[in-house]
Structure 1
């Protein structure tokens, strides 16, 4: 088949393991790399018969034409993706999708918080915030030190980075909110962005509520179609129905109905389990 000017092979240029079951990929996608902005996402299909999977962007190079993504093997599709190696290619990569992260010059400091695989997603926004002259703190959280990822990469775009681990094996013992609490006690914080598991984002939202901190969370994990057509990513924000893929993925954390969000994430747990078990046969 002839290759037109819009052809992209989505070949894997680099792969490395960040921690058990979590991998960094550098993917050839020159057209996407020219357009992607901080906070936007892509959807990939690892193989022709794979499901669609939304992924945040950890970085890109517009000149060299590649994207950087982080994938944690948690279910069937993510496992299929992490089984790919350098020289292999993803079947499809669609994007850029969603709205870019909100960035501005703030009076106080900005804090970006990444939990697990979410650490990669906050790096581009941290870079843009700092480029605007903001003081930017980074917070990376994990259950234990062996699960911490991309700490050095976040340090490169922040003024200071805090590490937290649940078991105290590295950095502050506890959660990302413990680091945020220390930062807020030290100086005025005007903006926070949290990306990671829903309980983590909900905890950040509760901590900053009523304290004059503009707080954003990323809800891309609940998407299916990614273009606003299927309605699977409905979320209630400020009492109104919003599509995470089209209106987001970033939303005002103080307006998100997290209880509804948690229920929606649990809707297809059994089906996901069946699909993963079928792949292992």
Structure 2
């Protein structure tokens, strides 16, 4: 059992939990994740380890309430418990001094971009970040990102904060500019990462993405998270979650992400009906 030590709502349907997990916290590195079950009857879901608290005994998880499991997780109170959690999983981000690194984070993906940006900055890189959301009310971790980056661009679809438009539009301007870019790292919706890959390819800029396929066991046994990279099957849980963006089959990734949408929708509707009867 893993105790919830603190809880904060960062935006509409976006929750931050600090969870007591000393063994995981002691080994966690940027880019890694955990897989958890809220209760014994729950499904297993992956969540990125955003940070480790100063005491070294707890990890911070940030997620969006979009389905039954994340809804249940978001309704936990301080002092409540997560049934089980395993990690850190996945290969950590390969951090070194590249020179100029551009981090692109979309939506709740900004939570995953933050520890990576911090790590690249600590390694001596010049870090430029581009973060975005549909509106200012959905934007998260702006202050945290500003502290660990040399430059920060903020975008919103509706223009309510920062630049009006998409993060990829700013990236295109930077690629066309006079300042060389040595690495682009993107995390967010699959379609956003695909566009990033398409933008950087003609410029020959090395680009990494952190993939978010369906994942179950997290140890390479079930194959649910398989993705095609460079024409070969890879498992995001043990071979990733980070891959060369120019080698990822994004069409296959997005098709697999849509496989269970109907079942996920029904599960959420049943959960909300049950909760409304109880409430």
Q: Bin the TM-score by the shorter chain.
A: over 0.9
- Alpha-carbon distance between aligned partners in 1 of 2:211 and 2:56, rounded to the nearest angstrom: 29
Q: What's 2:93 paired with?
A: 101
Contact 2:213-2:236 within 8 A present in 1 as well? no
Contact 1:33-1:62 within 8 A present in 2 as well? no
Q: Does residue 1:267 correspond to 2:276, yes or no?
A: no
Contact 2:186-2:193 within 8 A present in 1 as well? yes
Q: Does residue 1:129 correspond to 2:120, yes or no?
A: yes
- Alpha-carbon distance between aligned partners in 1 of 2:213 and 2:10, rounded to the nearest angstrom: 20
Q: What's 2:276 paired with?
A: none
Aligned 1:45-124 pairs, distance under 5 A: 45-61=37-53, 63-107=55-99, 109-124=100-115
Q: What's 1:3 paired with?
A: none
Q: Does residue 1:201 correspond to 2:190, yes or no?
A: no
Q: What's 1:4 paired with?
A: none
Q: What's 1:218 paired with?
A: 210
- Structure 1's consecutive aligned runs of 4 or more residues displaced over 2 angstroms after TM superposition are 61-64, 181-184
- Alpha-carbon distance between aligned partners in 2 of 1:159 and 1:138, rounded to the nearest angstrom: 8
- The count of corresponding residues between Structure 1 and Structure 2 is 272
Contact 1:238-1:255 within 8 A present in 2 as well? yes
Q: What's 2:240 paired with?
A: 248
Contact 1:228-1:243 within 8 A present in 2 as well? yes
Q: Over residues 238-276 of structure 1, what are the superposed CA-to-partner deviations in whole Å (9 max), with x where a residue is unaligned? A: 000000111000111000000111110111111111211
- Give the alignment's TM-score, normalised by structure 2: 0.94
Aligned to 2:26, the other structure's residue is in SS state helix
Q: What's 2:277 paired with?
A: none
Q: What's 1:162 paired with?
A: 153
- Alpha-carbon distance between aligned partners in 1 of 2:79 and 2:115, rounded to the nearest angstrom: 26
Q: Over residues 99-133 of structure 1, what are the superposed CA-to-partner deviations in whole Å (9 max), with x where a residue is unaligned? A: 011222114x1011111111011111111111111
RMSD: 1.2
Contact 2:216-2:224 within 8 A present in 1 as well? yes
- Give the alignment's TM-score, normalised by structure 1: 0.94
Aligned to 1:236, the other structure's residue is in SS state strand
